[in-house]
Structure 1
């Protein structure tokens, strides 16, 4: 497939984009993502709001991956039947884009496959219980299908592969930041026992919640997963403390100026600031970086002028830590 894409890109850029659309929806179907994830994938691909009406139920997802107010499509919107008494559409203002018809065709085919699977697979139930847009009666039904009681639970966000042991309800979700696996585990579950290999992948662990609180646990898990690193491959949302509230608020707003300022720095400057913030002294940072004390002091002085605060002070340290987190989440 990749070889064919490369050849088509050289011969016909539009054709290669069409094939990428086909491959993308094939991947979503193979991962058994839910309806909301399928619509989100189509919305991100098309850069426009995508919707579906299935019976009386309407679901719309905007181009930024966020659920929108349920509303029927306009007559001018490109539409296609997605099943019995079901239709999907792309809400494009103006002329359709080159791949709109292909995106809608693959979307409706994928939705038909999902509808056929829905009655037998647990994946759609997992997506229903972690979605904040699910109706209470739908979530109650999904929790019953998954046989999740009132015990305290957590949602774990991890890469699509590897999959956890079959006893742990799991599905792959299309998020604004790519395909992510959602796995529901007990609050005190040992992560090494969740994956049959005994080695947990890089992941974020959501806050403890009952069945009704799993959307909040999933939201925290997604943020925690994006803050993982080679040095810290597993991050718990609860360990972020009040910073989790800041991260949640930043998800729907513009990048903070402090984070923007860090984003303009080169990697070497960020490495120095990280060391200073960790060590809380120039001498400690110099030893950690293997650089001369005076050169680190000189560079830090210029960076303090750029940032407008000193990361060695209590307030400056907090400000830098939050800005560094927001920069990671924005990247």
Structure 2
């Protein structure tokens, strides 16, 4: 059980990255901007997309922001050594499109931002009750017109897992962009798992997973959904600026087996506390906007 608990902690976006899937019996990378979580015992490949309804800017209701995200995550390799360390390496890619429209004048602008990371997850079971989990995800966060030093970043998380039977505790810290800009945050949570079907976790993230069977499961979750990128204005290398997103997602959905290792996942919910910030040459402009509803669909493949 300890391995199962530990792998619910760290993979995404990333918190893409604190997204948590419904079935707690396997392991997969889940999309997210900055802090992703492992909640399955086997790596899975995922491809999907998320659409957000327009959110009106609070200071100007004629201006609205629409988001579209597409992503894929694939495992690259994994294994273990004689000292008891287990490792997984993956490749995560996401395109985040922000459309800003003025409904009064008809003007609109579009910004595409990319996350390309190669996450390494390390797990070691120290004894019957204790395990250590580390997550290191270097990568590129950029609009990709050019690539310079400011386009690179990453997330680092370390946690200790204490297994007390149906109860478990996870504590640690990480440098992540789940809340917007990269910052050091505590990563603490409590999990209640009375059987192989139900998993309730309170903390960072908060989620409920219920597996009806191996082919059907449901979930609800609350996660931060922030990120930070370096972008370029007018395709000019010298006109770089920082783009920061902040917000939280609350939603629910399910996952259903289509055939063999292929599963369909659907999720719907609301993203609230939304804010975007542009920072260029020491000047900063921030826009807050109303909550957006979202729907996510993905295909997940599980490997034996």
Q: Considering the TM-score relative to the shorter chain, is it more than 0.5? A: no
TM-score w.r.t. the length of structure 2 is: 0.24
Higher fraction of strand: 2
TM-score w.r.t. the length of structure 1 is: 0.23
Query: Which is bigger in relative contact order (C-alpha 8 A, separation at least 6)?
Result: 2
Higher fraction of helix: 1
